[in-house]
Structure 1
Amino acid sequence: MRKFTHDDPDGNQKNDTWGISSAGAGANLGELKNLELMFGKSRIFAGSGEAESAIVNGTHKKLLDYVKTIVDEKLIDPDWYTQGWEQRKPKLFAGKVGLTFYPGVLVNEVEGGTGSTGSTIGWFENLPMPKGGPDGGKLPPGAINSGIITISKAAAQDPVKLERILKILENSTYPNDGYWALRWGVGVNGQKVMDVEGGGKFVSLKGEAYRQDNKGAYDWGTWVATGQDGVVESTNEQPAESDKKQMRLDNETMQMPANPNDMAMLTLDPQIVSDLDTLQNEFDIKYILGGTKDYDGFVKQWLASGGQTLLDEATKQFKAAGLIK
């Protein structure tokens, strides 16, 4: 980050590049919060004998100290906290930002935003999550099987309904034929999924109007969607170098170690969770900008404001699920 900020990587002899950026939209740290994973697990997770919190065990403080250093040294885009996701893109597309936490589709987004000349494809490579401590260095947890599907108790006790439900699930989930129809329109309107040499699959959106004109016929938002299908889509007619680069980056990311999604196993009071998120977001920016140094006081307030209640309930649920002995 220091090199990208100070060594004029674009050679224009102007002080207009930054090591990193974010898109906090005036509310939170944006994707910078993922850097907490350098130091350990994030949020609430199953520890040894009880639920733990990154706030209470000090992992969150390590993140805040790290971000404070970045801000103090001016290694970060000055609009990082106030700008939204789309507002940040022009700097990113212009090569003004060195690091970004982004999926592989970034390659195609930047190419599309700069005239699709191929000149930006070589900009991007994967950087594994840096390891800043014994429990750090893993990516954020992914979704549990792309989500959990539930049915009512009454339906489960009705053998006819249950059989129909299970048939729908079996026929429409990856990798079965119904998945490709519902997710990508294969057999619906002539849409094709092409195999790409070296692995991966490609869907061309060139001239694709059916999905826009017939909302819900099939699309990326369907409940069966999963990134495990390895599909990349773009407006290219055939898979281009940018598509192949995205496939490689996505595949590399999927092979990187990630933390388990413990918190997705929990059912916690949503009002307490929301209130604590607000409390944390307000403290985070105040600490980073030098408005306070009292992290211990924040932890006490977090626990007293419902954090201890969440930890106690999480411990109970983790034990019931067998994640804590």
Structure 2
Amino acid sequence: MRKKMTYTVLAVLLASVTMLNACSDNSTNNGAANNATNNGGGNNEATNTGNGNADSGKAEPPLQELNFPDAFPPVPRAVDQSSYAYDDMSKSYDLDIMVSGSFNQSVPEDKVKEFLEKQFNVKLKFTSMNADDLKNSVSVRFASGDEPDMVMMPVKDVALSLYNAGQLLDGKEVLPYMPQAMQYVTKEYKNWATTKDDQLIGVPRYSVFPDNWAYFIRQDWLKEFGMSMPTNEDELFAYAKAVVEKDPNKNGKADTWLMGAAGAGNGWSMMDALKTMYGHPSWNEQDGKINHPMLDGTTKQFLQFVKKLYDNKLLAPDWYTIGWEPFKAYSLNDQIGLVWYPGWNIVQEQYDAKKKDAVAATLWEPLNPLKSSDGKGGMYGPGGNPGGLFIFSKKLQDDQGKMMRLAHMLDTMIYPNQNYWAVSQGGGPEIFPDDSMVKLNDDGTNVFFIKDSHISKVKPEYQSLADWQFFGYTLIWQVYDDEPVGVTGSKWNQQVIAMPRYKNFDMNLTLDGPTSQKLTDFQNKNEISFVLGKRSFDDWDAYVEEWKKAGGQKLIDDAASQLGVEKQ
């Protein structure tokens, strides 16, 4: 079994951004794309050169019409590299690009930057900083007239402000030159990034992480209790009672419980998704009117169920005050029967906690979305959020060649184009052929492995090479082939991704940030009182009115207006 970088470490690398991959010329085109083909059935199109055609005189974009798909392609394929014939590679350009990174430090020798500059005949100014600093820096640079050519913005708010100020290029002017990215700009993504005058504030991109969070249950305990997988709140409660009363860890102690919030006293965290048993957990539309879980009883029913668990002593002793990491002392030591987790992570962490006992990788299995006793629910919360968007300075309007070069370079970094892996996780096979491996599978998934000998892992001063990855990298199609963790974890990830989810209305909302935060703080402070019995559910209607006065009504009005529905 190969030893892989843990998903937890990878999550740190991916906290705010996406990966760049560079383009290969004729002399060096034997890296990740060829490795993918040589290691098991990749797409041969990914091995074509990406240098454009300087002699063809072609400047027409490969996409004459923008046809936004309903969904991502079922099997992602790299576009033919002749799509970039519009780009005259004999011309050189200076490109100023920015991204939100994780390490954000200079490196002694930036091999990724050198690789990109050579392949694309450019001189790059690359700036990486944390998300808050990026928002501030981008705003200042645009205000001072020193704007970058392109920014990968992880959120939409600053991008929308800049677009409304007339400082950004309409994304529809760039997207025709990005045929790979176009495959992932779905109708929903397009609507998310479209202004009232039907222009794109940028080019949306897929998220880094897949929708692979779900409830995981101890399947071995279910078998011991003679129970099937719970399908509704009553069956879940029966399982919870068995976990507490039947000593499933066989130590003769009363030290097993259903679950905990693990939010360090600040909200419901691990328990929040139980809300989906009773209805949509966020803003939504119902019968042509705006709706919210506070308005239709969803939040109330959720809190009543949590109180039922609490009153019956089915939750861990410090279930509300304990934080996520300390809670693992329970969940990974046979004391908890239900957790909210990404599939791969729970398998890996349990396997490590049990000193790599193969049986440990089989203890947890994903639970399909539960229903309420009256048949509501049956779906997890909305997924499919964009991973941000590429925004382009309006000054590129005056330099068509520069805009096309930038579009060309970025597009080859989108999955699974020929340079997608080149700068992944600090540099893939094109840059560090002895320290990384790629396998592109026939079903469009890939196995990507960085060895412990990779410079970004051996020398801490090179960790920031990973910040280049935050333009195009994603885990949506990445799988693992090591036994038993990789195979099982990948299986659970794919199973969870396929589970039904509520429609995502939040994607098309831009609500006031301070008001939203104030309302979150208000709910975190007050809702625990209902569970602990300090406030009666007879006061619920009065509480909803307090919620409205605390900012809820303002958000109701704004959400209704933005979604084009009636107010409640």
C-alpha distance in 1 between matches for 2:349 and 2:356? 9
Higher mean C-alpha displacement, 173-182 vs 73-82 = 173-182
- TM-score, length of structure 2 as denominator length: 0.52
C-alpha distance in 2 between matches for 1:77 and 1:197? 45
Question: Aligned to 2:392, what secondary structure does the other structure show?
Answer: coil
1:147 matched to 2:388? The reply is yes
Equivalences for 1:1-325 in 2 at 5 Å? 1-104=240-343, 105-132=345-372, 134-155=375-396, 159-184=400-425, 185-187=427-429, 188-190=431-433, 191-194=436-439, 201-204=446-449, 207-212=452-457, 213=459, 214-218=462-466, 222-232=470-480, 239-293=482-536, 294-319=539-564
Q: Which has the higher contact order (CA 8 A, sep 6+)?
A: 2
C-alpha distance in 2 between matches for 1:20 and 1:42? 20
Aligned amino acid, residue 186 of structure 1:
G
Alpha-carbon deviation of 1:113?
A: 2.5
Query: Are residues 178 and 195 of structure 1, via their aligned partners in 2, closer, same or farther at CA, if it must alter by over 3 Å?
Result: closer
Q: Is the CA contact 1:108–1:242 (under 8 Å) kept in the aligned structure 2?
A: yes
**What percentage of residue pairs aligned between the two structures are identical?**
29
Alpha-carbon deviation of 1:21?
A: 2.2
Alpha-carbon deviation of 1:154?
A: 4.7
Aligned amino acid, residue 279 of structure 2:
G
Q: Is the CA contact 2:410–2:471 (under 8 Å) kept in the aligned structure 1?
A: no
Query: Are residues 11 and 201 of structure 1, via their aligned partners in 2, closer, same or farther at CA, if it must alter by over 3 Å?
Result: farther
C-alpha distance in 2 between matches for 1:48 and 1:258? 19
Query: Are residues 176 and 106 of structure 1, via their aligned partners in 2, closer, same or farther at CA, if it must alter by over 3 Å?
Result: same
Give CA deviations for 1:16-58 in whole Å, capped at 9, x if unaligned.
Answer: 1111223111111112111111111112123332321111111
Give CA deviations for 1:159-216 in whole Å, capped at 9, x if unaligned.
Answer: 3454234223311112223222233432232311346899954444552543343223
Q: Is the CA contact 1:211–1:219 (under 8 Å) kept in the aligned structure 2?
A: no
Alpha-carbon deviation of 1:263?
A: 1.1
Q: Is the CA contact 1:179–1:224 (under 8 Å) kept in the aligned structure 2?
A: yes
Aligned amino acid, residue 377 of structure 2:
G
Aligned amino acid, residue 269 of structure 1:
D
C-alpha distance in 2 between matches for 1:119 and 1:91? 18
Higher mean C-alpha displacement, 69-78 vs 134-143 = 134-143
Query: Are residues 160 and 194 of structure 1, via their aligned partners in 2, closer, same or farther at CA, if it must alter by over 3 Å?
Result: closer
Aligned amino acid, residue 472 of structure 2:
V
C-alpha distance in 2 between matches for 1:2 and 1:39? 21
Aligned amino acid, residue 126 of structure 1:
P
Higher mean C-alpha displacement, 116-125 vs 205-214 = 205-214
C-alpha distance in 1 between matches for 2:563 and 2:531? 33
Question: Aligned to 1:107, what secondary structure does the other structure show?
Answer: helix
Q: Is the CA contact 2:479–2:486 (under 8 Å) kept in the aligned structure 1?
A: no
Q: Is the CA contact 1:146–1:226 (under 8 Å) kept in the aligned structure 2?
A: no
Q: Is the CA contact 2:437–2:450 (under 8 Å) kept in the aligned structure 1?
A: no
Q: Is the CA contact 2:444–2:477 (under 8 Å) kept in the aligned structure 1?
A: no
- TM-score, length of structure 1 as denominator length: 0.88
Query: Are residues 240 and 273 of structure 1, via their aligned partners in 2, closer, same or farther at CA, if it must alter by over 3 Å?
Result: same
C-alpha distance in 1 between matches for 2:253 and 2:442? 42
Query: Are residues 92 and 154 of structure 1, via their aligned partners in 2, closer, same or farther at CA, if it must alter by over 3 Å?
Result: same
Query: Are residues 56 and 14 of structure 1, via their aligned partners in 2, closer, same or farther at CA, if it must alter by over 3 Å?
Result: same
Q: Is the CA contact 2:293–2:299 (under 8 Å) kept in the aligned structure 1?
A: yes
C-alpha distance in 1 between matches for 2:504 and 2:468? 23
Alpha-carbon deviation of 1:158?
A: 5.6
C-alpha distance in 2 between matches for 1:44 and 1:24? 22
Alpha-carbon deviation of 1:86?
A: 0.7
Query: Are residues 88 and 192 of structure 1, via their aligned partners in 2, closer, same or farther at CA, if it must alter by over 3 Å?
Result: same
Question: Aligned to 2:284, what secondary structure does the other structure show?
Answer: strand
Higher mean C-alpha displacement, 275-284 vs 169-178 = 169-178
Query: Are residues 257 and 148 of structure 1, via their aligned partners in 2, closer, same or farther at CA, if it must alter by over 3 Å?
Result: farther
C-alpha distance in 2 between matches for 1:206 and 1:70? 46
Q: Is the CA contact 1:196–1:239 (under 8 Å) kept in the aligned structure 2?
A: no
Query: Are residues 220 and 279 of structure 1, via their aligned partners in 2, closer, same or farther at CA, if it must alter by over 3 Å?
Result: farther
Aligned amino acid, residue 16 of structure 1:
D
Q: Is the CA contact 2:283–2:291 (under 8 Å) kept in the aligned structure 1?
A: yes
C-alpha distance in 2 between matches for 1:20 and 1:220? 39
Higher mean C-alpha displacement, 182-191 vs 63-72 = 182-191
Q: Is the CA contact 1:23–1:80 (under 8 Å) kept in the aligned structure 2?
A: yes
C-alpha distance in 1 between matches for 2:535 and 2:341? 31
C-alpha distance in 1 between matches for 2:397 and 2:320? 48
Alpha-carbon deviation of 1:75?
A: 0.9
Max radius of gyration: which structure?
2
C-alpha distance in 2 between matches for 1:197 and 1:118? 28
C-alpha distance in 2 between matches for 1:17 and 1:221? 42
C-alpha distance in 1 between matches for 2:319 and 2:469? 29
Query: Are residues 193 and 71 of structure 1, via their aligned partners in 2, closer, same or farther at CA, if it must alter by over 3 Å?
Result: farther
CA RMSD, 1 decimal: 2.7
Task: Work out the number of aligned pairs and report it.
Answer: 317
Give CA deviations for 1:105-159 in whole Å, capped at 9, x if unaligned.
Answer: 2101111222112231120111111011555121222242433444345546763
C-alpha distance in 2 between matches for 1:219 and 1:4? 44
